[in-house]
A = this chain, B = another copy of it.
Amino acid sequence: MALRHAVLAALLDEELSGYQVTKAFAAGVANFWHALPQQVYAELAKLEKEGLVAGREVVQEGRPNKRVFRVTGEGLAELESFASAAAKPSFLREDLLVQVQAADHLDAGVLIERLTERYAFAEAKAALFEEQLHRMRGGLDEADFLLRGASRVGPYLTCRRGRDFERANRDWCREVMEVLRARGAEGRGGA
């Protein structure tokens, strides 16, 4: 029951179509959630049936019509009740962690490949988030924006968490690679 709230939260600031929500959640841009189109459409259908969002047909020229959704009063109430219940903390759950856990029994070269890929991915994603943050805060410096900025700070803060998360991933990958390389050199007759 978390995707539904993520969808509601995404619709708070603007009316979006299912397709647009999907885009916002798509790999690379999602700062606070991730889901595939099928899940988003299914959830929107359920939310509409329950009256938490209201859909509206938008006729377009040159491309297919779409249905955009906005959050209703009931939807906002649902979000508030979600926020008043304790949030369950999530765990790190990443393939790469499992692979590094087994590092002492696996080939270091293969692992370093994985770490290199993840490093590049993290770097790229962090840069993307950084850009987004820059756009959001406009001309203002961060402290000013957060204290007195006119626009919504929620999305900014979650985006920051996303950026810092990927930076941490990147730094961890670098360090693990250093350790694996150093131990490899040591084992083959280094210092």
Assembly stoichiometry (copies) = 2
Given contacts A97-B161, A99-B83, contact A118 B106 (CB under 8 A): no
Tell whether A94 is near chain B: CB-to-CB under 8 Å: yes
**Are A103 and B154 in touch, CB under 8 angstroms?**
yes
**Are A92 and B183 in touch, CB under 8 angstroms?**
no
Return chain B residues, CB-CB under 8 Å to A80: 106-107, 110
- Chain B nearest Cβ from A178, distance in angstroms: 9
Interface string of A156-191 (1 = CB under 8 A from B): 011011101100110010011001001100100000
**Are B114 and A186 in touch, CB under 8 angstroms?**
no
Q: Which of B33, B147, B164, B169 contacts A98 (CB 8 A)?
A: B33
In the bound complex, what is the Cα–Cα distance between A167 and B154 (angstroms)? 21
CB neighbors of B among A9-51 (8 A): 9-10, 12-13, 30-34
CB neighbors of B among A88-125 (8 A): 88-107, 110-111, 114, 117-118, 121-122
**Are B98 and A76 in touch, CB under 8 angstroms?**
no
**Are A179 and B79 in touch, CB under 8 angstroms?**
no
Tell whether A59 is near chain B: CB-to-CB under 8 Å: no
List 8 contacting pairs A-B, 8 Å CB cutoff, sorted by A: A5-B95, A5-B99, A9-B99, A80-B107, A82-B99, A103-B154, A103-B157, A146-B182
- Chain B nearest Cβ from A87, distance in angstroms: 4
Bin chain A's interface residue count: 35 or more
Q: Which of B92, B99, B186 contacts A147 (CB 8 A)?
A: B186
**Are A92 and B165 in touch, CB under 8 angstroms?**
yes
**Are A155 and B101 in touch, CB under 8 angstroms?**
yes
In the bound complex, what is the Cα–Cα distance between A88 and B28 (angstroms)? 13
**Are B94 and A93 in touch, CB under 8 angstroms?**
no
Return chain B residues, CB-CB under 8 Å to A12: 101-102, 104-105
- Chain B nearest Cβ from A23, distance in angstroms: 15
